[in-house]
Structure 1
């Protein structure tokens, strides 16, 4: 069934009174309503193993488009709690990453995407494609400038960001919520650390995601990293355990065939 034309636009028009209220004063109820379309989408599409059916999403993307359109009318205010702001930007980052995969599907990796901007083409992570409150941001700006201010010295944020890759931390199957953010970040860290497809843990040796290597400045050196892992791991890791980093698979975390294979399948 094809999506109803402009259904996503009608959704935004219905949300306009809510968006006005959010600009005036945000509370848990209004923010919950703002993120509800994103929350419902995550619950419907995120699979237990973290993969997503991108072909289905690409054909039924009106809810995602409506949510992104609504974000164009909302600016996080200093009066919001830090947790509400952080939850907001985590949702924004993940929604725009998912949208990139949907918009350019079939694509094998988000790294293959080049977006035309003023002055040439930029990688997906650097292009100012994220529209929040009428202002444009890149995904890298959100990760490297905004979230560190809101979640300083909290390395869990790296496990909450989704890059639509096979080795990426899986999407939490619900929207981030400022009132429950600490519990959600803990749940996400616990899920990722104990995911045997992304980390292999034993008492004497661990092979962990390259995410921990890339962000060693915040996860810490060996002793600090093992302490972090032990906060969440179901397997106790000894302080003297060896640490190795696994290669990162940037292939799209698609439930079906991806890239050229998916394109060929659609032609038959």
Structure 2
């Protein structure tokens, strides 16, 4: 079946197939809820933090089942701890983005995907790709409304799976509210100290284009350097020169780009 047709069939099932499921509250523990996604991550995230999409295709039904189960879940700020809510939306974003890519795989870049909707097509960022508690969400909605606007935590950008070769390495486990801060710190430390994505020295830093794209969340240059120093193994001076590296949107498949390609130094 062509990738586009495969996606439409699966997408229809994801958004409409669970209409008879009743919306419920926090009916299960966070770890139980995330267990299927956690298992898939353990199996298909490579040691260098990329994703084996080809292998995951064999278990796409398990991923679909996990996503369909989210129709029964509605994070409630009155009963859910904030960290559980933040972890839930990170996991939802990552699983939905992964499933979307699988429906078009093999694809060179997530940005090449166009999702058919009534009246035309939408980008992978703006198309509704997951239903949570009976409401459809796009990836951009989850990132902006459910994560950035609620939690104001720039570390989330080291956790979201943008499907790009220059994006931070994928954590090989689901995010868990009980350990979320430690997991986000781990991701920030891993990404910032990876010379494939960031080059740090006391006098000069060459940072991933991710920091430039979300500059408003990291603050002024002085605030950005202060943030970097929270995780950098090499201390950076407050007067260090800041430059930004190009960002590769090639798919973060198991066959990765070289360090020079990831940094845009072809």
TM-score range, shorter chain: 0.7 to 0.9
Q: Which residue of 1 aligns with 2:215?
A: 216
Change (3 A) 1:189 1:140: same
Q: Which residue of 2 aligns with 1:73?
A: 72
1:23/1:77 contact within 8 Å kept: no
User: Is it true that 1:116 corresponds to 2:116 in the alignment?
Assistant: yes
Question: What displacement does 1:23 show?
Answer: 2.9
What TM-score do you get using the length of structure 2 for normalisation?
Answer: 0.84
1:1-20 alignment, distance < 5 Å:
none
Q: Which residue of 2 aligns with 1:149?
A: 149
Q: Which residue of 2 aligns with 1:23?
A: 24
Distance 1:105 1:123 in 2: 16
Q: Which residue of 2 aligns with 1:261?
A: none
Please give the root-mean-square deviation of Cα atoms over the aligned residues, in Å. 2.0
Q: Which residue of 2 aligns with 1:132?
A: 132
What TM-score do you get using the length of structure 1 for normalisation?
Answer: 0.83
Q: Which residue of 1 aligns with 2:94?
A: 94
Provide structure 1 residue ranges, at least 5 long, that are not aligned to the other structure.
1-18, 259-268
User: Is it true that 1:158 corresponds to 2:143 in the alignment?
Assistant: no
1:83/1:150 contact within 8 Å kept: no
Question: What displacement does 1:257 show?
Answer: 8.5
Distance 1:197 1:256 in 2: 15
Provide structure 2 residue ranges, at least 5 long, that are not aligned to the other structure.
1-20, 258-266
Q: Which residue of 2 aligns with 1:4?
A: none
Distance 1:81 1:127 in 2: 29
- Deviation per CA, 1:125-184: give whole Å up to 9, x if none: 0001111122101000011111123312x2111111111110011221111111111111
Could you list the runs of 4 or more consecutive aligned residues of structure 1 that deviate by over 2 angstroms after TM superposition?
22-26
Q: Which residue of 2 aligns with 1:105?
A: 105
2:125/2:138 contact within 8 Å kept: yes
2:165/2:256 contact within 8 Å kept: no
Question: What displacement does 1:24 show?
Answer: 4.0
Distance 1:169 1:135 in 2: 29
For the residue of structure 2 that corresponds to 1:60, the secondary structure is: helix
